[in-house]
Amino acid sequence: MKAKENFKSVLGIPQEDIAVLLGVTRTQWSMYELGQRSLPVHAMLELGNMMEYIQQPKFQSKELQSVLREEEEQSRKAIQKEMETTQYKMLVLGKKIKEVQRLRNENLAALRLAAYLETQTPEGLTHGMGEVIKVKALAMFKKYNGQLEKFQLRSATLKQHYKAMDLVLKSKRGEPAV
CATH number (1.10.340.30, 1.10.260.40, 1.10.10.10, 1.20.120.140) of 3-55 reads 1.10.260.40
The answer to whether 151 and 145 are in contact (CB under 8 A) is no
Q: What residue type is 107 in one-letter code?
A: N
> Stretch 18-27: mean pLDDT, rounded?
92
Q: Over the stretch 84-95, which tens digit does the pLDDT of each residue have?
A: 999 999 999 999
Give the global pTM.
Answer: 0.62
Euclidean distance between CA atoms 31 and 26, whole angstroms: 9
- Domain limits of the chain? 3-55, 76-173
Euclidean distance between CA atoms 158 and 18, whole angstroms: 47
Element counts in the chain: helices (H) and strands (E): 7, 0
Euclidean distance between CA atoms 172 and 167, whole angstroms: 9
| pLDDT classification of 120: cutoffs 50, 70, 90 | confident
More confident position, 1 or 73: 73
